[in-house]
Chains A and B, each alone.
Chain A
Amino acid sequence: KAGVTQTPRYLIKTRGQQVTLSCSPISGHRSVSWYQQTPGQGLQFLFEYFSETQRNKGNFPGRFSGRQFSNSRSEMNVSTLELGDSALYLCASSFVSGTSTDTQYFGPGTRLTVL
């Protein structure tokens, strides 16, 4: 079974621009979560989507948004980029059965650099 895929793998943007990152989950996984990884703050949860609905959101400003499509693929968008948004953005997918969300499996990440 193919793993979680993320595109693009690397991205360079300038301050003030916006960016869209894409994530394709493992086949059959309907929950997609996004995390930001930085040297200073470590791994922080951004948001989680299931069946095209955001179920949970971390403590990030409104510039960070996401969505999920009917095929479970997800995108996250960051508007008005700031230097501090430079990070590795990780996507994870998981299988959901009833009210239970199973183990999260991660993609390789998208490395975003803001200049």
Chain B
Amino acid sequence: GDSVTQMEGPVTLSEEAFLTINCTYTATGYPSLFWYVQYPGEGLQLLLKATKADDKGSNKGFEATYRKETTSFHLEKGSVQVSDSAVYFCALFWQAGTALIFGKGTTLSVSS
């Protein structure tokens, strides 16, 4: 079945460091891809999305490109801040299934 695999955390960085969180997916076809972020004690917030191959989603300095050839959607940010500390979830969505399939989440901790 369809699945999403994220790099294991936690990821610990210093402020202003470069961030990459790897995400790969397994699916028959071309689903929409998402990154959601969860801050402590809160629900999920949409960070960015891409709906077709080679699309680049971006928001708040974060970027991810839908790579069909490598079935990947890696999240990157050039300079992280302490306020970026959270859990990040990669997810795929099928119209037919009307359900998001999530990776296990990656915890990011940024220190000043």
Chain A residues with a Cβ under 8 A of chain B = 4, 6, 31, 33, 35, 42-43, 45, 48, 50, 55-56, 58, 90, 92, 99-101, 103-109
Contacts and interface: CB of A to CB of B under 8 A. Distances in A.
Interface stretch (B21-29, B44-52, B58-66): B44-52
B49 A103 contact: yes
Contact of A58 (B34, B42, B45, B99): B99
Q: Is the interface of A mostly helix, strand, loop or mixed?
A: strand
B46 A105 contact: yes
5 contacts: A33-B98, A42-B104, A45-B101, A48-B98, A90-B44
Contacts of A48: 98-99
Interface of B: 34, 36, 42-46, 49, 89, 91, 93, 95, 97-105
For the complex of A and B, the 10 pairs showing the least CB-CB separation, nearest first, are: A43-B102, A106-B44, A45-B99, A106-B43, A108-B43, A48-B98, A109-B43, A56-B98, A42-B104, A101-B98
A33 B44 contact: no
Contacts of B93: 104
Nearest to B36: A106
Given A43-B89, A43-B102, A90-B44, A103 B34 contact: yes
Contact of A99 (B49, B89, B95): B95
B98 A55 contact: yes
A56 B99 CA distance: 8
A17 B98 CA distance: 30
Nearest to A49: B98
A100 B99 contact: no
Nearest to B45: A106
A33 B99 contact: yes
B42 A45 contact: no
A58 B103 CA distance: 16
Contacts of B34: 103
A100 B46 contact: no
Given A4-B43, A90-B44, A107-B43, 17 more contacts: A33-B99, A35-B100, A42-B104, A42-B105, A43-B102, A43-B105, A48-B98, A55-B98, A56-B98, A58-B99, A103-B49, A104-B93, A104-B100, A106-B43, A106-B46, A108-B42, A109-B42
